[in-house]
Chains A and B, each alone.
Chain A
Amino acid sequence: MTAKTDKRLFDQVPDAQGRFGEYGGKFVAETLMSALKELEELYYRLKDDPEFQRELDEDLSDYVGRPSPLYEARRLSDEVGGARIYLKREDLNHTGAHKVNNTVGQALLAKHMGKKRVIAETGAGQHGVATATIAARLGLECEVFMGEEDVRRQALNVYRMKLLGATVVPVTSGSRTLKDAMNEAMRDWVTHVDDTFYIIGTVAGPHPYPLLVRDFQCVIGREARAQCLQKTGRLPDALVACVGGGSNAIGLFHPFLADDSVAMYGVEAGGHGVATGEHAAPLNAGSPGVLHGNRTYLMQDEAGQIRETHSISAGLDYPGVGPEHAWLKDIGRVNYVAANDDEALAAFHRLTRVEGIMPALESSHAVAYACELAAGMTPEETIIVNLSGRGDKDIHTVAELDGIEF
């Protein structure tokens, strides 16, 4: 992108049909169409309502603990020997990840709709924990759908959700991971559509979810932009964030999209390597299709069946990606790359040892790529990495890989 991009290009999506170019839309069963329309109308009415914004801002500051710091990782930057690396500390939010920015927003919408029950799908458990947390605070009934495989991998978060009063439903269909949890949440929503609000955790799903989750997560990028200008006197040269469904990435990227000088890198889960086929990198190695309510890039076989994915991190173990990312890939605004399991694991250890910050395995993918990127840049340049979550939940996984038993 050489010419100055018209900011309006990025504000025009999604259109009235919920489309980002040829992606997005509303591909759901008829039973849900009215609920989506109701949510859409409510959201368009509230999003510019000063009273709603005041409520949201108050939750974000007093409950979530925003703004999150922009931290210069000096020792890491020195060790890498290139661009200066800044970490956007979403790991310091209440509940330990960026997910809560969105759940407080959607819970406010649920409250305005008078819904008494919320449901959510979760992979790593961070979105489930964030949903259970806000449900506890608002006194809402909460059920979280989680693949049986993830229940095993993320036992700590499962117990956290139970402590918060939520019911965790292990999902035993299909590949027993995040995509199957989302199927099951959809089935529950169809059955309880009158009294239940479905809090989707990522920028995927049918319109208006990709829009409203993006809007709620954009607080990350708005803060980072102001903090970077204040600390360095200029915009960053590059942004790096991990991409599963893509909510932390879109939250960081979106407020910078019209800043042509800012390069952007979305890091997908390379698993055992993109060439092996065992990964969760649809933007790197997938093709367009329809899943979970939207048209987007998917990992699918030659018969249009959704393929099983692999990633060391449960939160990235998803065969699709938000439709806005699909569009940003096609127009060339964001570069989508991949980091493998072992690279993410090495970055987990590195950041922990060099900065005393233990990143989530999801965020470790972004750290891994940022280090590689920084090494080829100059010390006058800066990179902002979205440190989307903290790694406490992954200690068991890491210990298991290191052969340590508790």
Chain B
Amino acid sequence: MSRIDDRLGQLAEQGRKALITYVVAGDPGVDETVDLLHALVAAGVDVLELGVPFSDPMAEGPVIQLGHERALANGITLSRVLDIVATFRREDQDTPLLLMGYANPVAYMGYAEFADAASRAGVDALLTVDIPPEEAQPVTQQLQRVGMNTIFLVAPTTPDERIAAIAEQASGFIYCVSLKGVTGAGHLDIQSVKTLVGRIKQASALPVAVGFGIRDGASARAIATAADGVVVGSALIDVVTRTLAEGGSWPQARSAAVQLIEEIRSGLD
């Protein structure tokens, strides 16, 4: 049982929905990321998703792309992301944390080396956007060896037989992509998300979290009627970035983030 299994299991027993947040590691800085992760947990986040910056983030919309660029400009590498996690874990051994990124930095480090180092740092799972189940065996095996979960995406274009194949390899939860598009897109259709989550539930007993396009308490609540949890990324990064761009201090940016998360949390509960 991973921290993810434990936490999502407890929430299900309590009849509560999971709030999952995504931020890019090292954006706007290393210390700020660690500080923000703790603040998010205090504001009611259940699972932390930490983006591993990549030079070519193909699935991201403009808000998260720029986050990757800022983190890379800060010299953030996959090893430094693991350092950030290790620092966070000194004060928080309970909150589940997964890394979300792209294949190449992980492949370059080596799947076995990554699994060992990530597990040591306190990472619970990995989601690689550009490794579909057909290509995932080598990495999934290594993650299993160290007791980490592999998170897979299911998209609106995924037919039922693929959902079944994905469910066989997936663990932790299934990440349901709400729409055809990149992260932060603005054309969320609640009804079609409900249908898709229903199709996933037919094939898998794993919890289903929905991401892409969830920006406030209202959209989170609407989605949560069909799913076990929601993922908020672009909206969170946007509020932090805008506060800083308007001359705000880091504590101000952090409280803007906390305010958004508290709104979404109360929308969910």
* A contact residues vs B (CB 8 Å cutoff): 17, 25-35, 173-174, 179-180, 183, 186-187, 190-194, 289-293, 295, 298, 300, 303-306
Contacts and interface: CB of A to CB of B under 8 A. Distances in A.
A31 B58 contact: no
Contacts of B153: 29-31
A291 B54 CA distance: 11
Contacts of A192: 180
B132 A191 contact: no
Most-contacted residue by chain A among B55, B181, B185 (CB, 10 A): B55
A298 B107 CA distance: 12
Nearest to A25: B135
Contacts of A30: 132, 152-155, 157-158, 166, 177
18 contacts: A30-B157, A31-B155, A33-B132, A33-B155, A34-B157, A34-B158, A34-B159, A35-B157, A192-B180, A290-B107, A303-B77, A303-B78, A303-B79, A304-B104, A304-B106, A304-B108, A305-B55, A305-B72
B134 interface: yes
Nearest to A307: B55
Given A30-B154, A304-B78, A305-B54, A187 B59 contact: yes
Contacts of B69: 173-174
B103 A190 contact: no
A35 B155 CA distance: 12
Given A30-B153, A290-B104, A190 B182 contact: yes
B242 interface: no
B107 A289 contact: yes
Given A25-B135, A31-B180, A306 B59 contact: no
Contacts, number: 114
Contacts of B185: 191
A306 B180 contact: no
A190 B180 contact: yes
The 10 A-B residue pairs with the shortest CB-CB distance, nearest first, are A304-B108, A303-B77, A304-B105, A31-B155, A290-B103, A30-B153, A191-B181, A306-B55, A30-B155, A305-B55
B105 A303 contact: yes
Nearest to A175: B55
A300 B135 contact: no
Contact of A186 (B54, B58, B65): B58
B162 A34 contact: yes
B130 interface: yes
Interface of B: 54-62, 65, 69, 72, 77-79, 102-109, 129-132, 134-135, 152-159, 162, 166, 177, 180-182, 185
Looking at chain A's contact residues, the main secondary structure is mixed
Given A30-B152, A34-B159, 9 more contacts: A25-B134, A26-B132, A30-B155, A31-B155, A33-B158, A173-B65, A174-B56, A191-B180, A303-B77
Contacts of B158: 30, 33-34
Contacts of B58: 29, 183, 186-187, 292
Nearest to A298: B104
B62 to A, nearest CB: 8
Nearest to B163: A30
A26 B135 contact: yes
B225 to A, nearest CB: 23
Which of B54, B103, B132 has the largest count of A CB atoms less than 10 A from its CB? Answer: B132
Given A174-B56, A183-B58, A303-B78, A293 B157 contact: no
Contacts of B55: 174, 305-306
Residue picked from B56, B105, B177, most chain A C-beta under 10 Å:
B56
Contact of A289 (B78, B108, B134, B152): B108
B108 A33 contact: no
B157 A33 contact: yes
A60 to B, nearest CB: 32
A194 to B, nearest CB: 7
B59 A300 contact: no
A29 B129 contact: yes
Contacts of B155: 29-31, 33
Contacts of A26: 132, 134-135
B181 A190 contact: yes
Contacts of B78: 303-304
B104 A190 contact: no
B108 A303 contact: yes
Nearest to A179: B56
B54, B130, B131, B177 interface centre (most CB from chain A within 10 Å): B130
B103 A27 contact: yes
A305 B68 CA distance: 11
Contacts of B79: 303
Contacts of B108: 289, 300, 303-304
A298 B177 CA distance: 29
Contacts of B130: 27-29, 290, 293
Given A29-B130, A33-B162, A306 B104 contact: yes
